[in-house]
Structure 1
Amino acid sequence: MKRTDARAQAIRALPARSFAIGALSALVLAFGASMTLAQDTIKAHGVSTFGDLKYGADFPHFDYVNPDAPKGGEFSTWAFGTFDSLTPYILKGNAAAGATVFYDTLMTGNLEEPDAMYGLVAASMEYPENREWVIFYMRPEATFSDGTPVTAQDVVFSFETLRDKGRPSYKTTFQYFTGAEAIDDHTVKFTFDPTGPLRELLMTAGGIPILSKAYYETVDFTESSLTPPLGSGAYLLDAVDPGRSVSYKRRDDYWAKDLPVNIGHNNFDIIKFEYFSDYTTAFEAFKGGAYLFREEYSSKEWGTGYDFPALTAGHVIKENLADGRPAGTQGFWFNMRRDKFQDPRVREAIGMAFNFEWSNESLFYGLYERTDSFWENSPTLQASGMPSEAELALLEPLREYFPEEVFTEPAFVPATSSASDLADRRALRQAGKMLEEAGWEVGSDGFRYKDGQKLTLEVLNDSPSFDRIINPYIENLKRLGIDASANRVDAAEAQEREKNFDYDMVTQRFAMSQTPGDELQQIFGSASADTPGSVNVPGLKNEGVDKLIRIIADAQSREELDVAVRALDRVLRSMHIWVPQWYKGVHNIAYRDVFGRPYTDTPPPLSMGESSIWWWDEQKAQKLRDAGAL
């Protein structure tokens, strides 16, 4: 199953361990040791969206790491599909997993605080309370891997290059940036449109990947390439086998290895991704020792496949770890750019044909629960019941843009179907009635037509292991008179078709931020709906949704944010832009017993940190070598 971090997809700028970024709350003065006021500006070593930073200016390292973690060894895992590029910030080509590891950013996140960033290339930052600009004071010791300094000119070049030549979605990301200026070699200033979502923008600036201006004087940024780019990050390219594997090696001379934000991180000498075209082949390779770590997304494999000799012998560890993030938005997404999916009754009827209860009982071994919210399993962000007075205060002025049921009915929850009968007759009868109300009548050949057009639906799929889930759904759709089909293509074709919105329905999963903001434009905003390569999978265009996203981005407190997100969740669910699938609020993982980690059962809330804060345990590895298991 594809997993997409919503904010990372929107900004596509943060290194691998940098997670959800939010925006600045001006009221951070209570953390007196970390910031000072001068001429109505705030100068700080970091920034938090709402309230205080957890860590002061002199913090030695993040609490969740082992500062004495040994360096060495290898972390290897698998990736799905294929790749033909090491250039992650352009639309051309398919970038290799981990390709952002070459680049540093001005600021970086951590695995505990969903709405905080601390200085990396920037030692500190300064901004006014209205947040209309930000100045980053860069570390003079920051260097690219060839030893040349990282300068403010490089930062300005990076911003302008990504805006003008990067993935089209950058134009939306940077739409409220009015400029970037190198004040001197190590001081850079960004200015923002006062009408923009100012709470967010300085952190977006802090997350821009820093490219080398000198390097791209002789290299075409717009061309995909397997030549490793010049960066200032902790890793270099180790080896690449196009479409099959890619590995990165830790730099002993990494300029920032002793900074507090990096202590206890970047512990592996080698990070490697082995590519496979389907999940079953990848699992068999794991059992055979082709790679060391696997997070399992297949309920069938998790329920029946983990009984192989290496696990029985204790050479492989299998466990569940808590996942502190919202469970994510996983579903079958409609392409509403197509006329046949414009009517929400059609979309709702198609959704009713998916029998989750039967799938969970017959295919998933009862391991999952049904998703209904875009912020599933997040009590503060997930809408429930009738709208509250606070939600209505936001929704009523936008009433003309939304379905009436937003105001008159509880937040939409998919109806429960029969677990014992795939073809739940009650659900299918109701779905058929909705299609008829939308004008789709059954013809003499058993298919539904409207104005002479047959109702067809193709589910695009790039995984053989997903066939067992899609095919029963197709059966039910055919029972409704829909000419439905499952089209399994290779990963390269699927990636290209998804970039260009060439599908009826596709499966996608977003891991949503706990502090949502302006990045929601990329998923649900009108401006991104027709931008090639954007993650607005359904092609949603709704002015009211755009206004709610702006309210979220401008929220001045956590309470305001939560109310606005619940209102948006309620609206999106009423529109039936997807058929929600399932979730399980834990990480199902298995790995060769060669790792150490700084926690036992409970990882940091935002990530397990397996490729960064775990480490190679040589004693464990030697035991497996002695047993012939490594």
Structure 2
Amino acid sequence: MYGEPALPQDFEALPYANPEAPIGGSLVEATVGSFDSLNPWVRKGNVPWQLRYVIGESLMGRTLDEPFTLYGVLAESIEVGPNRDWVEFTLNPAAEFQDGSPVTVEDVIWSFETLGTEGHGRYAGFWSQVESIEETGERSVRLTFSEENPELPLLAGLRPILKKAQWEGVDFAETGGTDIVPIVSSPYIIGDFEPGRYLELERNPDYWGWDIPFRRGTYNLDSYRIEFFGDETAAFEAFKTGEVTFTREFNVARWESNYDFPRVESGEVTKETFTHSRPSGMTGFVMNTRREPFEDWRVRQAMIELWNFEFINETMTGAQQPRITSYFSNSPLGMTPGTPAEGTVAELLEPFAEELYPGALEGYALPVSDGTERNRPGVARALELMEEAGYTVQDGVMTGPDGEPFSFEILTQTGVTEQQAMVDIFEQAVEGIGIDVSVEQADSAQFTERTQEYEFDMTYYRVGLSLSPGNEQYLYFGSEQAETGGRNAMGVASPAVDAMIDELLNAESQDNFYAAAKALDRALMAGRYVIPIYQWNNTYIAYNAELAHPDRIPLFGDWPGWLPDVWWSEAAAAE
């Protein structure tokens, strides 16, 4: 995107991979929830989140060290138009699916068209900017774009390529089940599985691309197995007994107090902590602005005041994890909380000054409570805001301008105990000012369906953001996604936000790109859509001692593309 790739054309392997890694062994990871589908490319069904990162090979691959650089995978070579208005890929002649059939231009064209029109909503935005796709040679295909967007050639390189013949005669959009096991060209293929219980991905020894630079030293484990559990407690117990061999910990207090069981003390388990340099993204409880209680920013700010982060953080983590202060915390893309917009950032936002929420230009920062359970200053400020929004407390009940009591529901996922513990503390604070709040738990399938269809008042929310934010920002925050169902959980429909995403995509320099990201960050934070919780700038992982990874941790750290990709088993080396 900017400048030149860090790796030369004849690079041997990714710098955080080990081309000498032994082959064999297995890794077992736990996931809380369930699954009923093996098709990660459609909206229907509940799919293991890991699946779309491990199967469904693309023309190019993203390196975890360079946010805006891709390297060839299915594509042997790439040519881009002088104004980035088209991109042409030439397929590697060796590329084939797991059944031995070649990956063809016909498969590529069908995949782009089908995913763009019948696939998951994440693919529709890109396809709407494609003017044409055509075969230009026996192994080459060209996409011409209808809009000026310098990121489009990169996005084209990341679309999964599927086997056309497998999906003929079926309604692709309705294949969100387990009857059809995808035939893929990737190093791992789907092996044994039982819906809701486990899924095993197996290394394909006949994979076509073991010798391409992007793949050397990757997918060394013979088996990557995902076990599903009803709650976090059961998942952790499975790790303690050895049924699960890898786990991530997201709570510092638990990391310091719960990892002293026999397998750790005997040396069977390795504990590891390291940092990463990717943005925090946004994690917290999102408010659905499509619904009347939360369409008013003052009500949303009142909820943020009542959250009492300092007390919750002390209770949950011993106050050891910093709060998320922006969508791009922990990166150069994030705004500086509480400071006014300056320079290019201010110039980008100024045309929208009348519509932006208070603080976008002047500076917005999350409230800091006194740390006590009662949080008197926060409660007082929340009451002031509710009054400004037309609400009054009558006989102990928060009553709206229409004379009706103010009530709302918080949707949580069954088995995620940390979410529930935080909500319990928040619930008491909200009820303390006369608001009737109910908490409903849903299993993973129901939770996914309801959040995707925007059927909630407030719910747990997580959006991961990278150092190369681009077109996917439309999916998360774009006006077109506000009512269609998908990832825009808060329902933001803001011309200012849309314009900042446009600026992000069309930035002609890295400085302008940073400014657009900071401006977008300001517009979103001032919108008060989410009650942020803590960020995870440190990674805490524990795993069986025979498992290993290269010492060099990539810029993105523990991110899709790192595990299981560059891991191996020392036990396999000893065999």
Could you tell me the TM-score, scaled by structure 2's length?
0.95
Paired AA for residue 136 in structure 2: I
Query: Match of 2:555?
Result: 605
Paired AA for residue 556 in structure 2: L
Judge which range, 258-267 or 459-468, deviates more. Answer: 459-468
Query: Match of 1:289?
Result: 242
Residue 287 of structure 1, CA deviation: 0.6
Is 1:205 aligned with 2:156? Answer: yes
Which digits, 9 at most, give the CA deviation of each residue in 1:116-175, with x for residues without a partner? 101111111112221111111111111111111101111110011111111234322322
Change (3 A) 1:79 1:542: same
Query: Match of 1:369?
Result: 322
Identity of aligned residues (%): 34
Give the counterpart of 1:387 among 341, 360, 368.
341
Residue 466 of structure 1, CA deviation: 2.2
Is 1:306 aligned with 2:259? Answer: yes
Query: Match of 1:266?
Result: 219
The whole-number CA distance in structure 1 between the counterparts of 2:317 and 2:574 is 34
Query: Match of 2:2?
Result: 50
Query: Match of 2:176?
Result: 224
Matches within 5 A, 1:305-384: 305-384=258-337
The whole-number CA distance in structure 2 between the counterparts of 1:586 and 1:288 is 25
Residue 298 of structure 1, CA deviation: 3.2
Is 1:80 aligned with 2:18? Answer: no
Residue 343 of structure 1, CA deviation: 0.8
Q: Is the 8 A contact 2:59 2:74 kept in 1?
A: yes
Which digits, 9 at most, give the CA deviation of each residue in 1:168-216, with x for residues without a partner? 343223221112112233111101013x4x2111111111100111111
Superposed CA RMSD: 1.6
3-state SS of the aligned residue for 1:256?
A: coil
Query: Match of 1:19?
Result: none
Which digits, 9 at most, give the CA deviation of each residue in 1:206-234, with x for residues without a partner? 11100111111144422223131111111
The whole-number CA distance in structure 1 between the counterparts of 2:233 and 2:549 is 28
Which digits, 9 at most, give the CA deviation of each residue in 1:252-311, with x for residues without a partner? 110011100000111111011011121121111111111111011234432321121111
Q: Is the 8 A contact 1:594 1:621 kept in 2?
A: no
Query: Match of 2:356?
Result: 402
Q: Is the 8 A contact 1:83 1:242 kept in 2?
A: yes
Judge which range, 448-457 or 184-193, deviates more. Answer: 448-457
Query: Match of 2:100?
Result: 147
Judge which range, 382-391 or 274-283, deviates more. Answer: 382-391
Segments of 5+ residues of structure 1 without an aligned counterpart are 1-48, 623-630
Is 1:431 aligned with 2:382? Answer: yes
Matches within 5 A, 1:199-598: 199-222=150-173, 223-226=175-178, 227-384=180-337, 385-407=339-361, 409-410=362-363, 412-419=364-371, 421-462=372-413, 463-532=416-485, 534-598=486-550
Paired AA for residue 212 in structure 1: K
Structure 1 moving runs of 4+ over 4 Å: 619-622
Residue 393 of structure 1, CA deviation: 1.2
The whole-number CA distance in structure 1 between the counterparts of 2:188 and 2:430 is 48
Segments of 5+ residues of structure 2 without an aligned counterpart are none
The number of aligned residues is: 566
Q: Is the 8 A contact 1:102 1:230 kept in 2?
A: no
Residue 396 of structure 1, CA deviation: 1.2
3-state SS of the aligned residue for 1:325?
A: coil
The whole-number CA distance in structure 2 between the counterparts of 1:590 and 1:367 is 19
The whole-number CA distance in structure 2 between the counterparts of 1:356 and 1:256 is 49
3-state SS of the aligned residue for 1:60?
A: coil
Which digits, 9 at most, give the CA deviation of each residue in 1:350-390, with x for residues without a partner? 11101111112122122211111010111343334111122
Q: Is the 8 A contact 1:169 1:528 kept in 2?
A: no
3-state SS of the aligned residue for 1:124?
A: strand
Residue 516 of structure 1, CA deviation: 1.5
Judge which range, 397-406 or 476-485, deviates more. Answer: 397-406
Residue 418 of structure 1, CA deviation: 2.1
Paired AA for residue 161 in structure 2: I
Residue 404 of structure 1, CA deviation: 4.5
3-state SS of the aligned residue for 1:607?
A: coil
The whole-number CA distance in structure 1 between the counterparts of 2:333 and 2:452 is 33
3-state SS of the aligned residue for 2:260?
A: coil
Matches within 5 A, 1:54-133: 54-100=6-52, 101-133=54-86
Residue 603 of structure 1, CA deviation: 1.0
Change (3 A) 1:621 1:311: farther
Judge which range, 376-385 or 518-527, deviates more. Answer: 376-385
Paired AA for residue 176 in structure 2: S
The whole-number CA distance in structure 1 between the counterparts of 2:464 and 2:118 is 27
Which digits, 9 at most, give the CA deviation of each residue in 1:2-31, with x for residues without a partner? xxxxxxxxxxxxxxxxxxxxxxxxxxxxxx
Paired AA for residue 546 in structure 1: D
Q: Is the 8 A contact 2:326 2:334 kept in 1?
A: no
The whole-number CA distance in structure 1 between the counterparts of 2:526 and 2:176 is 40
